[in-house]
Amino acid sequence: NAGVTQTPKFRVLKTGQSMTLLCAQDMNHEYMYWYRQDPGMGLRLIHYSVGEGTTAKGEVPDGYNVSRLKKQNFLLGLESAAPSQTSVYFCASGRIQGTETQYFGPGTRLLVL
Amino acid sequence: GQQVMQIPQYQHVQEGEDFTTYCNSSTTLSNIQWYKQRPGGHPVFLIQLVKSGEVKKQKRLTFQFGEAKKNSSLHITATQTTDVGTYFCAVRYFGNEKLTFGTGTRLTIIP
């Protein structure tokens, strides 16, 4: 099993450009999450999904959109990138909510100039 | 809002010394998890604590959950270079099943 994979690993964008980050998991997990990690701020939840076709806002959703068209994939979109969105983005998945372990992908480093 | 304080932010220790990081919440917790992130890596689950006063051990690591379920600690005995990384607590509040991560404690080891 590959676990949780993320594409791309690294990307440089100019302000105003758009892009989509792809997360895929092969563990048949219901729950998927997108976090961003900035120095000194830990991990902050952007959006999450409790199942195929459903999404919900997390702690810092502004400037991002998500879609969960297939159970194994969770996409994070930036419609108009801003320098404040320079960060490391982690996707995670979990089997059930409430007590489950979250399994993280390797991360995507995004630099917005 | 609900806050999770993790202290210290950084810790430098000589190899072989002990290390402790603390996680404190102003609100009673449903449960707490601990994760480790190696430099350049991603968070990896270490353990989950659910019961008041719970203590769990993994080799040189000891995890404690406070009696009031508002705080937790991770203690490493006789640190090794493989312990380098950032340790995060991640908490769940009652009625809110999402994880809230602490800011992490970055551990560096002086050989």
Give the pLDDT confidence of B53-101 residue by residue, as tens digits. Answer: 999 999 999 999 999 999 999 999 999 999 999 999 999 998 877 889 9
pLDDT one-digit tens code per residue, A35-89: 999 987 889 999 999 999 999 999 999 999 999 999 999 999 999 999 999 999 9
Written as six digits, the tokens of A93 are 């998945």
Alpha carbons A90 and A92: distance in angstroms, whole number: 7
Alpha carbons A46 and A24: distance in angstroms, whole number: 17
Cα B86 to chain center, whole Å? 9
From the list B33, B97, B103, the residue facing A42 with the nearest CB is B103
Q: Do B43 and A41 count as a contact with CB atoms less than 8 A apart?
A: no
pLDDT one-digit tens code per residue, B29-43: 999 999 999 999 999
A83 phi, psi to nearest 5 deg: -55, -30
From the list A58, A103, A106, the residue facing B98 with the nearest CB is A58
At a CB cut-off of 8 Å and minimum separation 6, what does A3 contact?
Answer: A25, A26, A27, A103, A105
Are B72 and B64 spatial neighbours (Cβ–Cβ below 8 Å)? yes
